[in-house]
Amino acid sequence: MSSDRRTKAARRAADASDSGLLSPAELWGKPLPLRPLYDAALPFDERVARAWEHIKNTRFTFEEHDRLREVLVKLIESEQRGGTATE
């Protein structure tokens, strides 16, 4: 990379930080903004099924799905007994 390219890249990075945009480092650990519940009119069971598919497909690999079910069962049973999620 030429020194001219490096200078332009550094200048663009500085401009971005002055634009009021958050850097990726500043975004981590912040709660996501609330957004409308688009499927609120759907029956509860259908919303749960859609959420379950979304969670499985976006947060866990296919190979982890069986283990995910096991962990969730333990978590739910623990909460029903009045325990904590980390027991």
* Binned average pLDDT, 10 residues per bin, the chain of 87 residues: 61 60 71 72 92 92 95 94 70
**Residue at 47 is within a domain:** yes
Residue-range definition of the domain harbouring residue 33 = 3-80
Per-residue pLDDT, 21: 79
Looking at the structure of the chain, the number of domains it has is: 1
Per-residue pLDDT, 38: 76
CA distances from 58 to 9, 29, 36, 51, 62 (A): 33, 19, 20, 10, 10
pTM: 0.49
**Residue at 87 is within a domain:** no
Per-residue pLDDT, 68: 95
